[in-house]
Structure 1
């Protein structure tokens, strides 16, 4: 009843709808990634009863996978996740394996526990795991004070009068008698003193409770408006919310400027401008702070997330059974809503998978995944490398292979293909017994299973380099006949050699194997506790089949 499923399903496969907007913002034609696709929904999450028992249980998740297989779907969009479990106890990994065994691609969320390293979830190699990044559409609302103009984001329909200034106060300076300053700093419900807040614009710090709930705390205390400032962990990521009072959300760096003004001014005052829709904002995309990051805590030989896609302030269809904020005090109902999370980026990729399946009916789930990964973008709309939420340089643990580029994925030239048997051998190579692997499918492990490093994955990760290692990969031609030459950007302190350096393909479906040797350079020792990044690109002059290379030396 929360609108999550409606929002994600319409993002993946919604039909075109003209005049879609959120409270008048972002007006235009909304459509899913695979418009006019036939869609099916499987309910696996349930609300709590009497305060307990709610959640998404493996029994329901597994039942939904089996139902989808029976129904003959082509792609599953799974905007679910939690703590990373052993593969044998992971309902999503188990169910997804059965799906890919039937030719069904499974796309999942990377999680919303960023920017902590190693927080990524849904790490099985047969899943397409998606991080979240911004898009070039924003909803600016500016903070005006002392000759300054700070850009924030908002979807508030409550406005302050123009040409009128209001007193500013930091929320921690307005703590109620029964609340701590730290509680007031976060604008927790009931933490603010109405005598100190009434008639003022209150500056609250992000974290601890829902963003819109902070505004409700300010409104109930008699405040005229709210400025939500990021903390260091959320950096420059701002989100447009349907606030219940005039409000805007500013970056950490701008928050420091504002707080400096408050601390240095006897009677600080200012105002907030009305939000509006702005297209073509720069830089975009950059990574959302909440997007969970690598390395893969369960199988570090597999880079996760795989790619990133739009997951901030995404407009899609919504339920009338819940408010746009999902908070009990919010009684508004709207047909479209803006939401953020890797739950929102996941169906973007699922929609792309649907399009690829329509064009390439015989491609395996692994081939489709490879096409999306090896054609992904690494640059934003300013031509600079994609950045993290603090606008510092990102890396593959943040965005995987890069930001999806659907038009390029239709014609990747070459793909790294895999079968269900390859994934079973991967599990055998991790040390699982035949009995354990048979949890996925009846199987007897080979006497000498392949190394996890040799799984034919579209990225290369060596988490424990001890001098030198050689990994094997195989490429399948899905385009015209031609020759591809390898080019390498070696990670710092690492030497990478590819053999052979040229692969010649004479027909569609032909496969060629190659080896990549990775070794520490003799001139300077690789740091023992730090990953370094590079890339391998195979190109025929028109196609550029790119794989990130991620290396850390053995401790």
Structure 2
């Protein structure tokens, strides 16, 4: 007999929900209160007192000394404290508060690559490169690596104001700080900037590591390891910890210190584990990079590893360079041979050699850990502890699905693992025992073989390093556009090598990141937009060494307009996968023309995005007024080196206004050239720009017209003077 859901029961149920919500709303959690730029004419040491007063006004009798967990006062204004939802809303309504948002977690998003993108070790270098300081916000750094020796380096640049905490710096690593607002350290952590994970070390050496000869991962990727700017200095800001991740409050502290210290470029290879869409200035990356931009510091951020689905970007402010991950020709193949002689090709980096000896093969589905409460539907996926450990001894285990390197510990005594999954194979993983990852099709064929014979056997070969002739293309894991916040701004901006990159590592973490793995090596091969990010940061530093007075927007423009176009055929998402294309360091030093953007231009853009004059004044600490109304037209006039247009009509026409600055030949004439599909009508007025001096500016308009609604169409505007081809991507898209 069915239970009756009476009005009385419903009312009790509703009251219970209300009580639960009320209780939850009364629970305090850590929030960040962002208050814009540091007030002018105020001693920054007085800001903590102001923050405490604000906290006391909100918390009332609950206020206690130490309620403010941290005050931001070096480069911008804000503080951290624990609030209920109601208290957070009260604070958000106060004057001089730009935003209040919860303290959330982020996570790390990996030498031949430099040769591949056209920056060999003998490329032209400027003496100023040794004065460039690359700041790395990550998991710290391993100081004993040869990549960070200061042999041959002079003292730090005079402009440097940074410091070293619980760490011995040298003339290469000139700054090292750490931030941990939770004050929690796992047994593996070191309280200080020393890297116990490896991710920060890898990123720092990719950007600015020294040239180190005869580097390899047990023979793989052998050669000379080097950063893009090996003469540059490194400043490290550790915000990532083993069990608590990388917290917003700590990341913002790192930005605050790095801006104050005087870095030139910031490399930030961090992002959320899921797509989180937040308005501008309710995200620590937006805030930190905005204040960096105001002080002439260029910020580079990983696009994230949530691809290949659309709108998976987590880095979209126009003042930041968002970097996608591309391949650069290095590929690893790990084969499986069955007892019947059949061979299947998979993908991992397997350094173990089984000497092609055959071992029994068993399907994880057939050996569930019943005592642990697991069934066959769980064990077939090889989830943690789901397989009977005794049953796998001396055998190769077949797993339907894919487990990360940290989950293979339950294979106690197993010889190896064969994963079968649709998981993309363009970014091989390293495991703690012989392993390969096959396509589901090949996986099913192995299952068929196992059913056809009484004693199925197999072996896993040692990996082979092979050339990927299709490179460059965007890795499947790399997050895609379009931009979910401002659809008419193209994201990502650029692509850089991020697959199978070898760089420095910490011996405190095995190369597989599995604790029982004995392979603790000075260099490791990993993949991710995390690895693409320091490549782009290094290129920004390289360009700055040639042009120390260029603004961040000019450097960004130079990088984007000189990029090498990438193949639509290999990247179906087109510009939403790779932005302007594959980064080209040498060309970026001589772009011919650049698109510059001032802080006032960004203010107009923000007004168009709906920010009020009052919010703007708090943000910038000046008397800025909104010259444009809250509508989307402002974005068409933001002086970006790219054009994006989202449409929802079959007939449309939009005009963009741009201004270019001559940084090439003093006397030069550029002619506009449009590369476009027949369905788009694109006009440039004027289509000829003549310059008579360096630094001269010229304006033009670009009109896009069409009478069809399509999913995505790509075009290009190229300003050509015979020596420079200044290329801007154009993307028109619908649903």
Residue of 688, 709, 713 corresponding to 1:502: 688
Q: Does 1:107 align with 2:300?
A: yes
How far did residue 356 of structure 1 move?
0.6
CA–CA distance in structure 1, aligned partners of residues 504 and 547 of structure 2: 29
**1:204-223 equivalence runs, <5 A:** 204-207=399-402, 209-210=403-404, 212-213=405-406, 215-217=408-410, 219-220=411-412, 222-223=413-414
Alignment-derived partner of residue 235 in structure 1: 424
Q: TM-score, structure 1 length as denominator?
A: 0.88
253, 274, 289: which one pairs with 2:462?
274
- Aligned-pair CA distance for 1:14: 0.6
Deviations 1:345-391 (A, max 9, x none): 10011111111111111221111111111121234xxxx55724xxx
Closer, same or farther: CA 195–42 of 1 in aligned 2, 3 Å? closer
Q: Tell me, what secondary structure is at the counterpart of 1:7?
A: helix
2:644 to 434, 453, 461: 461
Q: Kindly report which structure 2 residues correspond to 1:434-453, keeping only aligned pairs within 5 A, or say none.
A: 434-443=613-622, 444-448=624-628, 451-453=634-636
Matched, 1:43 2:222: no
Q: Per the alignment, in what secondary structure is the counterpart of residue 408 of structure 1?
A: helix
Secondary structure of 1:123's partner? coil
**1:196 shift after superposition:** 5.6
Superposed, 1:156-167 pairs within 5 Å as: 156-162=350-356, 164-167=357-360
CA contact (8 A) 1:96 1:106 kept: yes
Shift of 1:276: 3.7
Q: Please point out which of 346, 353, 359 is paired with 1:152.
A: 346
Contact 1:230–1:236 (CA<8 Å) still a contact in 2? Answer: no
Counterparts in 2 of 1:224-303, with a 5 A limit?
224-231=415-422, 234-241=423-430, 243-250=431-438, 252=439, 255-263=440-448, 266-267=452-453, 269-278=457-466, 280-303=467-490
Corresponding residue of 1:347: 534
1:408 matches 2:587:
yes
Matches within 5 A, 1:60-75: 60-75=250-265
Q: 1:538 aligned to 2:722?
A: no
Question: Contact 1:23–1:155 (CA<8 Å) still a contact in 2?
Answer: no
Give the equivalent residue in structure 1 for 2:111.
none
Q: Distance in 2 between matches of 1:181 and 1:487?
A: 62
Q: Distance in 1 between matches of 2:401 and 2:217?
A: 23
Q: Which secondary structure state, in structure 2, belongs to the residue aligned with residue 475 of structure 1? A: strand
How many angstroms apart in 2 are the aligned matches of 1:261 and 1:157?
A: 23
| Number of equivalenced pairs | 524
Where does residue 398 of structure 2 map in the other structure? 203
Q: CA deviation at 1:492?
A: 6.7
CA deviations on 1:464-520 (whole Å, 9 max, x unpaired) are 365211111122221113222222233574322222222222222122211111122
**In the alignment, what sits opposite 1:319?**
506
Q: 2:577 aligns with which of 398, 401, 411?
A: 398
Q: CA deviation at 1:423?
A: 1.2
Q: Is the Cα contact below 8 Å between 1:11 and 1:348 reproduced in 2?
A: yes
Shift of 1:439: 4.3
**Structure 2: runs of 5 or more not aligned:** 1-195
Which position in structure 1 is the counterpart of 2:550?
363
CA contact 1:76–1:350 (8 Å) conserved in 2: yes
Aligned 8 A contact 2:201 2:506 in 1: yes
> 1:353 and 1:289, CA in 2 relative to 1: closer, same or farther beyond 3 A?
same
Higher relative contact order (CA 8 A, sep 6+): 1
2:425, 2:507 → 1: CA distance?
A: 32
Deviation at 1:27, TM superposition (A): 2.3
**Partners of 1:173 and 1:410 in 2: how far apart?**
60
Q: Deviations over 1:254-308 (max 9, x none)?
A: x413423432661354432222434x43221222222111111111121111111
Counterpart selection for 2:701 from 503, 515, 526: 515
- After TM superposition, the score normalised by the length of structure 2 is 0.67
